[in-house]
Structure 1
Amino acid sequence: MSQSSRGNGELTETTSNEVESSFQVGIVGAGPAGAGAAYALRDSDADVTILEKSGGVCGRAATRRKDGCRYDHGANYIKDADPRTAELIPTLGTEELVNIDEPVWTFNETGEITEGNSRDEHKWTWTKGITQLAKRLLAETDVDVTHRTRVADISRVEKAWVLTDTDNTDHGPFDALLITPPAPQTVTLLEATAWQDNRLETLIAAAGDVEYRTIRTVVLHYPFMKSYPWYGLVNVDKEHPVGWLSREECKDGHVPDGESLFIAQMSPEWSTNRYDDPVDVAGSDTASHIAALLDDERYENPDWIDDQGWRYALPENGIDNRAARVAESAGLYVAGDWIVGEGRVNKALWNGYDTGTRIANALSISQQV
């Protein structure tokens, strides 16, 4: 006899022939780390289930649509900053793959704009947006993604993991569980885990030490388009209210001809102080900063504004690999850019992929026993 879960939170006895014999893997979060892990498990014998709290995938690498525009308002693009990324992206399909040709320049506290370095690197997205990264990774798998499902509690049942969502529905049991949200949210889930073990306390303490920068993104649309020699501007001294400014019209298929769409990611200080400001108030202030930076008063009056706050946008530090892996022998894994302490899509992707590989190896070993 073994136990299975019901939607009312109770576990019931089932006969062995009613239970699937395959290795069950649960993943919390369908961001780059979760999608990367699922991709790593695609050729294994594991049945993989992803529970995602939102209606989409790819986490902060997100894409929205409005009034004929498509825009990446979180992570703006994926760099070929490492050989694995450079090799992977084209294999996911070159159709609709966009490489941003214009460079990234810099500016300082006074608003002085200068050319950036001239490194010849790809800046990839897709005509349908950067969220295609996770969509294309997951399309290579048989993973079951359950959207709009927020995990509230985790239980340890007969050496397996059972997740209970906020609707009191159980998911599992899982032989291996991977948690991929930002470190503070991971801590919340770990603290809600019914498992008395020193390894859990070690993992909670390590994740709790990760600090984050808060970023509020403001999107501003204009019914005209002015050419510039750059795609993006980054504030190098971190003293300006605008931390990053980019032109979405530089991406094929994102903005109709003759229009412009700015993605302004405001500084952590500005974002923290004005995180809860109404969008029109935050947008007006952002537009004034952009008009001054680009020396064009027309930018003070966008015809529409959108925004998104990222409370846990960019990790300031990571954690020791030994602490991150301390509970893996019990089938409990964590992954994300906060493990390596660098808020980059490729860092989250490959940390998730490598973690998925370790899960696959654990599966292979268990099958040999």
Structure 2
Amino acid sequence: MEAQCPHLGADLSHAEIEEGCDESPSNEEYEVVELRPVSEAFADINNIGRDPPIIQNPESTSSKIEEPVVPTPAPTTLLEWAVLILNTPDAVLKVQRTRHAVELFRTGGIKSIGRHGKAPTPPTVPPRDAGMMLVDPTKVAKRGKGGSLRSRITMLHALANIEQWAIDLAWDIIARFGNDKSIPSGYYIDFTRMALDEAKHFTLLSNRLSQLGTQYGSLPIHSSLWQSALNTSDSLLARLAIIHLVHEARGLDVNPATIAKFEKAGDTESVALLEVIHLDEITHVTTGHRWFTWKCDAEGQLDPVSTFRSLVRERFQGPLKGPFNIEDRRKAGLGQEFYEDLVGGEGAAVSVGYEESGTGRE
């Protein structure tokens, strides 16, 4: 493995990750379609309000015990950090722990993945803060067309909810499937990078809500995205296919329309952060495609296209909706042969509806 990580830009010569294979997928030819700087900008996390949300769960308590970013005893492996973050209900603390864990991993503070029989078990469903109102997806307020301030707040709040679940998805794919010594070190590098991106996205959206006079938690949230995680918890191939190559890829399709709504409303500040999120999401689909292809090869040189289409028919309900953002999907490695004229099975376990005003991951 290279001592200089191309994803995080950090020296990795310190890391004791020789527990398994150190080779990343390299048997596939990639086309360079765009070169751009990767945003490392984080909104000021200290600006995210910790005050009680405007709408609270009536059963929640009014007091909250502040937890330290690093608990006692502190996690010592990447898998331990992943499970700790998954079990962290508070969104701000989840972001703080994500940033801390990734920084430790990239600078040598975490020296072991922790792949052994005593690795901790991730939660079935990551908990949410008691002050959040978790409701059925059908009960969430309609987002509207983004013309009014109320509509834009509703859309940004929904996106922040998605990003909080996305942080968990990045850590869950490490914790749930990462206790396997055949997995290359690049897998952990890529998905910790993704977790950091999702934490950045959540922070940007939360701060924007504060700038607009409200805060995350002021509206109900739902957990429909996690249903796909539950129904792919038994298979890394299925997880990569459904979460990253269906849901995140759908985000590439609908994000430009969402951005256009904010542009029409003259909300340039929101447009700027949504554009950052969209460009980052292209790299996330690229990551999903990279490791899906690797896993297909590891499972006996399975054909990625036919395997993906088979998994969608098995694990996803209904057609993959268009119109498709063919160009950005292509940048991420998804040619049209993956998704054109593809319909999931009627009896498939996963059934998550897309909302055109969102990121497509709902």
* Larger strand share, 1 or 2: 1
TM-score tier after normalising by the smaller chain length: under 0.3
- TM-score of the aligned structures, taking structure 2 as reference length: 0.24
Compare CA radii of gyration and give the structure with the larger one.
Answer: 1
Task: State TM-score, norm by structure 1.
Answer: 0.24
